[in-house]
Structure 1
């Protein structure tokens, strides 16, 4: 079931709510430059195991409204809170991939983990996706600037190139086309502005403010959010468990989907 939630005047967020009668709730936040559809291979399985799976398209992406402003971690975290409050969610698992992982970390710090009982991070873009003087492990900033420029000049070609960046395993051409199609409905300016956000923003001080059990899932071949980011998350979050995915890049939710789903369910049930 799909519906819209207003998170500020004139801005509606699209929400897909699968198995509303499920016993345990997971709110999924997708990464750049995708939509809730990226979690298809979770939605094929988890609702049948009794989970209520809620997925939002962040502003600028998928079916959500595409305002000119608001593409930073604070506003994205506030949008997540708007969805949580509108649906009255309590005692649920909050989950995020890539920039969505950064968004849910900022939510936990900015809103004191309101309503969340557990946190799940998938290849999260934290504490910094890019290299800094005190953090030499991220992607060079100039690489992200190149993505921004490609987005503003030939976004379809940029999206095509992400197949090689996101996947470690060989995938079919059809799946590559599907992945490409997920990114197309986004606004070009939203795609560029979020890239600027994950290039320039950081979450070092946010990690220690997370006060719920946290699961970190990360592919060892990730070329976007390097494995060192997962190590930093494990060290910075007080109650965190890190599970490596040996045959995955940035898209572990597809590349090792059976292991991914199993680890997520065991974490929620534990």
Structure 2
């Protein structure tokens, strides 16, 4: 693991795979390499880059230290350091907002954009809509599993408040995975979360923006990947208005996935991704 120091933040990155096509994945350099298949690493070279929400603060922070604009400039500094040109940028979940914001500001360096498992906005209204969709459509066993798991969340956070984001992700497994009994603890092992930054980005920055509006200004091919059972950002119909845009946008719904189709349906995901990337 190597680091890029940016305004005191040590942004770690790791490189996996081979091939001429380069894919920059924004998020945790510890978490995300665990989600993609070894098969994909035979086709493309992946660069997994931390953002400030996954590293320790170098000092007492002010809000201007972790705006979305700051994250975008961090990505650009990393791009220069890594000498990436004509690359593919990938953002999963909340990181889709980062990837699309970068593609909008620095289109000259982007070949294609991949946005996975995000809702168009992270507003409170949309979050409640997703929760209502779960209550209305999830089967009884899935709901029962969720009620069992979420009962432990308050105690988890009380005992380990700095990993609140991780605890929430783990206890929301019935909202997150096609297999609602799946235990994702190993995915999050050793992942540092900077809650001051994550709370702002997910709670404010991503709530103020709409990805469908952002995509209207992105003049690059875009792949939007969604999981049919991804109740965290449900329903997939939130993206229906994409179908009317006169844009080079492909939407793929993975029918047996929740929030992580690259992990849950690796063969189908790999086939779709490889085909789309290699399609000129």
Length-normalised TM-score, structure 1? 0.79
Name 1:244's counterpart in structure 2: 253
Aligned match for 2:22, one of 19, 22, 25: 25
Aligned residue in 1 for 2:118: 124
| Shift in CA distance, 78/264, structure 1 to aligned 2, threshold 3 Å | same
SS at match of 2:108: coil
Q: Specify whether residues 44 and 100 from structure 1 end up closer, same or farther in structure 2 by C-alpha distance, changes over 3 A only.
A: same
Per the alignment, residue 66 of structure 2 pairs with: 71
Instruction: From the CA coordinates, give the structure whose radius of gyration is larger.
Output: 2
Quote the residue 1:10 is aligned against: 8
Maintained 8 Å contact 2:176/2:229:
no
**Can you give the 5+ residue segments of structure 1 that lack an aligned partner in the other structure?**
133-137, 144-148
Quickly say closer, same or farther: Cα 1:250–1:142, change in 2 above 3 A: closer
Which residues of 2 match residues 165-204 of structure 1 at below 5 A? 165-173=175-183, 176-181=184-189, 183=191, 185-197=192-204, 200-203=207-210, 204=212
- State the 1:202 CA deviation: 0.8
Judging changes above 3 Å, is the alpha-carbon distance between structure 1 residues 229 and 14 closer, same or farther for their aligned structure 2 residues? farther
- Secondary structure, in 3 states, of the residue corresponding to 1:60? helix
Matched, 1:230 2:239: yes
Q: What is the distance in 1 between the residues matched to 2:77 and 2:251?
A: 29
**Contact 2:37 2:266 survives alignment (8 Å):** no
Tell me whether 257-266 or 153-162 shows the greater mean CA deviation: 153-162
CA shift, 1:158, in A, is 2.7
Unaligned runs of 5+ in 2: 132-152
Q: Once the two structures are superposed, what CA deviation does each residue of 1:210-232 show, in whole Å capped at 9, x if it has no partner?
A: 11111111012221222134334
Residues 142 and 263 of structure 1: CA distance in aligned 2, closer, same or farther (over 3 Å): closer
Larger helix fraction of residues:
2
Deviation, structure 1 residue 163: 2.1
Q: Distance in 1 between matches of 2:208 and 2:195?
A: 20
Alignment-derived partner of residue 37 in structure 1: 31
For 1:129, what is the secondary structure of its paired residue? coil
- Output the TM-score relative to the length of structure 2: 0.76
* Counterpart residue number, 1:158: 168
Counterpart of 1:206 in structure 2 is 214
Partner of 2:223: 215
CA RMSD of aligned residues (A): 2.9
